[in-house]
Amino acid sequence: MLEITMKKNMANCVHTLLHWCKLIENKMAPDDNPLEQFCFDNNMSNYSVMRSKKDRKDGLMSYDLIQRLEYTDMKDLDTIREAESEEISAAIGLKQRGGIIKKYASYIPIINVEWNIKPIAQTILKMTVNITLDVNYTTRWHNRAEMFWIIVDDGIDILHSEQIAINRKSIQDGAATSASFFIPVRDDNSRQYSLVVDSDRWIGSRYEEVLELDDLIVNQEHMEYTKLLDL
C-alpha cells in the first residue's frame, strides 16, 4: 500500500502508512514508547534464550524501565535526552537506571537538516537538502547504512520523494549527506510546502519543517518560446 500511495503522490496517506509500516515491523502500537524498540518482545529474532539472565549485556532493555517512565513526565525522547541521569533515576525510583535509559534514547537518530531552494525557471525550483545524524552509533543496533525518506509535499500531493542512505562513516564523522532535486512551482498560493525526513525503520526519528518561500523571487515575466525548427 505504501508503494501504491507513493506512486499516486498521496501525501497524507504516505506519511501515515510509513509510520504504520514501522509500527508493524517493530510489533508496536501507536501510543507505545519509542524505547520499546529495544525490548525483548520487539526483538525476539535477535535474542538468545541462553542469555536471558544477561539481557542488559546483550543489548536489550528492560520493559520495567519503560513502564516506570509512563508514570513520570519523562515519556518523550526529547525530555529524556535533556534530563540528567540522576533526574531520571529519581523519577522512576531506581538508582543508576537513568543512565541506561539515556543510553538507549541516544541510539535513536536525531535528524538535523539544512536546506536551500533557488529558482531555476518560472515553474521549477532546485532544492538541496543536507542531512546529519546525531546518534550514538553501535553495530548492535545500527546498519552499515541507515535509510531515510526525503519527502516534499504541499499538503495534498507529493512533489518529490526519494530514499537516501547515510553510511556508517558519515554518521560517526558527523558529515552531511546531500541530496539535490527539482520541484515544481504551484500557482495555488494557498498550499504550503513541507519537507519531511523520516527514518525507514526507527520510530521517533523524524524531521518536519514548513518551507518558507515568501522571500523567494521567481521571474513572473512571460517567456516567449522559439518555434520548433523543421530539421
Q: Cell numbers 499538503 correspond to what residue?
A: 155
**H helix or E strand, kind and range, residue 105:** helix 98-105
Cβ neighbour number for residue 186 with a 10 Å cutoff = 14
180 to each of 43, 78, 86, 126, 134, how far by Cα in Å? 36, 29, 43, 7, 22
Identify the residue with better confidence: 114 or 71.
114
Whether residue 171 is predicted with pLDDT greater than 90 in this model: the reply is: yes
Q: Cell numbers 535509510 correspond to what residue?
A: 147
Q: What is the mean pLDDT of residues 172-178?
A: 94
Q: What is the mean pLDDT of residues 3-23?
A: 92
pLDDT value of position 1: 87
Q: How far apart are CA 1 and CA 230, in angstroms?
A: 46
Whether residue 189 is predicted with pLDDT greater than 50 in this model: the reply is: yes
Lowest mean pLDDT of 65-79, 154-168, 198-212, name the range. Answer: 65-79
Q: What is the mean pLDDT of residues 130-152?
A: 94
Please give the single-letter amino acid code of residue 86: E
- Look at the alpha carbons of 188, 192, 195, 199 in this order and tell me if their dihedral is positive or negative: negative
Whether residue 77 is predicted with pLDDT greater than 50 in this model: the reply is: yes
Please check whether residue 207 is in contact with residue 113, taking contact to mean a CB–CB distance below 8 angstroms: yes
Geometric angle at alpha carbon 124, from 120 and 126, rounded to 5°: 60
State the chain's mean pLDDT as an integer.
85
Q: How far apart are CA 141 and CA 150, in angstroms?
A: 22
Q: How far apart are CA 126 and CA 182, in angstroms?
A: 5
Closest C-alpha among 125, 159, 165 to residue 142: 165
Q: What is the mean pLDDT of residues 38-48?
A: 58
Whether residue 9 is predicted with pLDDT greater than 50 in this model: the reply is: yes
Q: How far apart are CA 125 and CA 122, in angstroms?
A: 8
Q: How far apart are CA 63 and CA 69, in angstroms?
A: 10
Whether residue 37 is predicted with pLDDT greater than 50 in this model: the reply is: yes
Please check whether residue 110 is in contact with residue 104, taking contact to mean a CB–CB distance below 8 angstroms: no
Q: How far apart are CA 185 and CA 211, in angstroms?
A: 13
pLDDT value of position 213: 77
Cβ neighbour number for residue 45 with a 10 Å cutoff = 5
Please check whether residue 152 is in contact with residue 132, taking contact to mean a CB–CB distance below 8 angstroms: no
Please check whether residue 145 is in contact with residue 167, taking contact to mean a CB–CB distance below 8 angstroms: yes
